[in-house]
């Protein structure tokens, strides 16, 4: 695969945007009570002590609501991704956010608020039931950097010959696996990339 720019693959929720905080606030406004034990988006039903299926419905409701276009950058993503953009990096976003056109529209709006239009050269929205592993396969053995907050996907990326970086959160703090770099924010990711 040939690119005109230096390319970085990245997950969006929990990496570029802080989906979690806004989703939890929105759930609490509707009377849902958080256990206070943070979980990854995929396991958010455990955070609220609700059925998996009910969480799927609530996530879809949230992601297709205009509120989902107002997520805040995570870990100073706006500062450091823009710095990388100026240094000729472009990003390919991989997200299981939603396959609904309205949700995808909100995601683009959200990105436009913080990044130049061509910063995210392309966005890949997963279809229902599709795994990140299946999508990552098209980038196998490229050694491209891939930033994620879900351990399952970091392991897939590693096996496929990518260079995963884990964005650290309470729910993945137990992860430790050479040679995966674990970052607390985008400044650390920036420095890691520049030292390659």
Is 5 or 62 the residue whose CB approaches Mg ion more closely?
62
Given CA atoms 111, 115, 118, 120 in this order, what sign does their dihedral have?
A: negative
Whole-angstrom distance, CA of residue 159 vs CA of residue 100: 30
> Pattern of binders to Mg ion over 147-186, x per CB under 5 A?
--x-------------------------------------
Stretch of 4-12, 27-35, 43-51, 97-105 contacting Mg ion, by CB under 5 A: 4-12
Helices 77-86, 186-194: axis angle to 10 degrees equals: 30
Q: Which residues pair with 133 in a beta bridge?
A: none
- The minimum distance between CB 139 and Mg ion, in angstroms, equals 17
Asked if residues 6 and 90 have their Cβ atoms less than 8 Å apart, the reply is yes
Is 31 or 129 the residue whose CB approaches Mg ion more closely?
129
Residue 177: partners with Cβ closer than 8 Å, 6 or more residues away: 154, 155, 158
> Contact with Mg ion (CB under 5 A): which of 14, 73, 93, 164?
14
Stretch of 106-114, 115-123, 143-151, 188-196 contacting Mg ion, by CB under 5 A: 143-151
**Residue nearest to Mg ion according to CB distances in the complex:** 14
Q: Is 66 exposed, middle or buried (0-12, 13-18, 19+ CB in 10 A)?
A: exposed
Residue 47 engages Mg ion in binding (rule: CB under 5 A): no
- The minimum distance between CB 13 and Mg ion, in angstroms, equals 4
The site for Mg ion (CB under 5 A) is made up of 11, 13-14, 149
């Amino acid at each position: 695969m040939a690119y005109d720019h230096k390319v970085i693959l990245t997950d969006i929720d929990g990496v570029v945007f802080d989906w979690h905080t806004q989703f939890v606030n929105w759930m609490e406004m509707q009377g849902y009570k958080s256990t206070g034990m943070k979980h990854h988006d995929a396991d958010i039903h455990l955070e609220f002590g609700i059925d998996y299926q009910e969480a799927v419905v609530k996530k879809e409701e949230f992601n297709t609501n205009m509120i989902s276009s107002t997520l805040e950058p995570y870990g100073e993503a706006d500062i450091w991704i823009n710095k990388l953009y100026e240094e000729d990096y472009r990003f390919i976003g991989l997200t299981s956010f939603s396959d609904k056109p309205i949700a995808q529209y909100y995601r683009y709006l959200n990105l436009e608020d913080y990044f130049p239009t061509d910063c995210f050269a392309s966005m890949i929205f997963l279809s229902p039931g599709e795994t990140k592993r299946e999508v990552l396969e098209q980038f196998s053995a490229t050694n491209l950097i891939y930033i994620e907050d879900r351990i399952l996907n970091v392991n897939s990326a590693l096996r496929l010959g990518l260079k995963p970086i884990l964005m650290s959160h309470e729910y993945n703090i137990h992860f430790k696996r050479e040679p995966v770099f674990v970052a607390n924010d985008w400044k650390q990711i920036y420095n890691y990339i520049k030292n390659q």
